[in-house]
Amino acid sequence: MRKLLICLVLAGCSGPLGGAPVAQEARLSDQVLTVVVSDGRVCRVTNWRAVPEGAFDACLPGHRYAVQVVERPNLLRQAFAGLTAALGAEGAVPPMAEVVITDAIGQARVFVSPPAVEDIFED
């Protein structure tokens, strides 16, 4: 019985380092939400515009997402998006949005897409 108890304690200590996997990055394209997870998985929602809030049941059980688009971005961005659309590249400029990923215990991680310029050039 003592050996069994020791084995159970050791098995409990041998789980993955850092605990449960967490979202590390969230990116949006015109239609796809891509989330990079700390364990290396990549989860995708293929039509986030149709379903701006939902669950990652297959990829990250217990995790939910919510996308809140910035409806009126700054004038320079509006002009750039309008120019690309006029040139036939509709949807080439990803939308500005806040993406909230909530884990199974209710802890929320907030991401901005596209990332701020200073976040892109971080070491």
pTM of the model: 0.65
Distance CA 28, CA 25 (A): 10
pLDDT value for 36: 94
45: which 2 tokens?
């929602």
Distance CA 91, CA 85 (A): 7
Give residue-wise pLDDT tens across range 88-101: 666 555 677 889 99
Q: Euclidean distance between the first and final Cα of the chain, in Å?
A: 51
Instruction: Print the SS3 string covering the chain.
Output: CHHHHHHHHHHHHCCCCCCCCCEEEEEECCCCEEEEECCCCEEEECCCCCCCEEECCCCCCCCEEEEEECCCCCHHHHHHHHHHHHCCCCCCCCCCEEEEEECCCCCEEEEEECCCHHHHCCC
Distance CA 82, CA 87 (A): 9
pLDDT value for 112: 86
The dihedral sign for the CA sequence 15, 38, 112, 35:
negative
Ranges of residues in the chain with a pLDDT under 70 are 1-18, 71-94, 114-123
The letter for the amino acid at 119 is D
